[in-house]
Chain A
């Protein structure tokens, strides 16, 4: 079946550097793509979304890029901080109310 997946299970980043988390998707009909952050012992937290008719969207220290040609989604975190250490999930909205999540990437920020 169609699915959302991530290229790298773990990403180690030095504090202050930029992080890039990648995600491949296969459902061309999804209208929104979303990034969530999950800290240990907590539920996921919404970070940013991008509509399928957009290529780029910026938030506070984060940028999401969507490449529909190769069905690729990425999350860029600028000046990574220790508080950014978490698991990051990409998700796509396959129908109203139904999100399909990828497996997640563990981001570890080192001093």
Chain B
């Protein structure tokens, strides 16, 4: 079946503009995660959703970052007033319910964000 999809694949924006990144999880996956990966670095946890609620938002870097999930499916990560340090690849992952599912996550290809 289809994997996790993300759009756009690449986004170039000017400093100060707002951007929206979209994630479509695997059908039936109730958990959804957002990560940020800077060049040559590991993944930085941002937020995860269980259904439409976000039990853990601890990784969001600042109040310029927000995320929502509607209908237990699609999620949008919004970055307001983008800064150059926001440039990174934003990865989305999804998983089933259950203990094991919390770490066996299926990742999308990511959105590469460049802030000029």
Q: Which A residues form the contact surface with B (CB < 8 A)?
A: 32, 34, 41-46, 49, 89, 91, 93, 95-104
Contact = CB atoms under 8 A, between A and B. Distances in A.
Contact of B103 (A32, A42, A43, A102): A32
Interface string B85-109: 0000001010000011011111111
Given A97-B56, A98-B56, A100-B45, A42 B109 contact: yes
A90 to B, nearest CB: 9
Counting chain A CB atoms within 10 Å of each CB, the highest count among B4, B40, B50 belongs to B40
Interface of B: 4, 31, 33, 35, 40-45, 48, 50, 55-56, 58-59, 91, 93, 99-100, 102-110
Contact of A99 (B50, B55, B100, B105): B105
Nearest to B89: A43
A101 B102 CA distance: 14
Summarize A's interface: helix, strand, loop or mixed. strand
B42 A103 contact: yes
B103 A41 contact: no
Nearest to B91: A43
Q: Top 8 nearest A-B pairs by Cβ distance?
A: A43-B107, A101-B42, A97-B48, A101-B43, A103-B42, A93-B103, A46-B104, A34-B103
Contact of A98 (B4, B41, B58, B91): B58
B60 to A, nearest CB: 12
Nearest to A44: B107
A102 B40 CA distance: 11
Contacts of A99: 43, 45, 103, 105
19 contacts: A34-B104, A41-B109, A42-B109, A43-B107, A44-B107, A46-B104, A49-B104, A96-B102, A97-B31, A97-B33, A97-B50, A97-B55, A99-B45, A100-B45, A101-B43, A101-B44, A103-B41, A103-B42, A104-B42
Counting chain A CB atoms within 10 Å of each CB, the highest count among B43, B44, B93, B107 belongs to B43
Nearest to A3: B42
